[in-house]
């Protein structure tokens, strides 16, 4: 995946209100914030499923706090 914008759209397709896992109802704002956090410590970002799951876990971790 080439762009961060496409990556955010991909996460919305999975975890947004109409995604594969709609129970989490991620917002674009949450995803963008999670991505910023992830990129701050993971410079090898390529936008694959591993990156998607890492950003998902960051967001879910914030929600549990």
pTM reported for the whole predicted model: 0.90
- The confidence score (pLDDT) of residue 3 equals 87
CA–chain centroid gap for 2, Å, is 15
- Asked if 52 and 31 touch (Cβ cutoff 8 Å), the reply is no
**Taking the domains of the chain in order of start, what are their residue ranges?**
26-40+53-65
- Indicate the Cα dihedral angle 15, 22, 60, 29, nearest 10°: 60
- 7-54 pLDDT, tens digit each: 999 999 999 999 999 999 999 999 999 999 999 999 889 999 999 999
- Asked if 41 and 54 touch (Cβ cutoff 8 Å), the reply is no
The residue whose two tokens read 């998902």 is 56
Q: Is the pLDDT of residue 1 over 60?
A: no
């Amino acid at each position: 995946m080439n762009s961060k914008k496409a990556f955010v759209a991909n996460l919305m397709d999975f975890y947004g209100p109409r995604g594969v896992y709609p129970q989490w109802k991620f917002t674009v704002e949450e995803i963008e914030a999670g991505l910023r956090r992830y990129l701050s410590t993971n410079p090898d970002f390529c936008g694959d499923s591993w990156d998607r799951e890492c950003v998902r876990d960051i967001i879910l971790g914030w929600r549990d706090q």
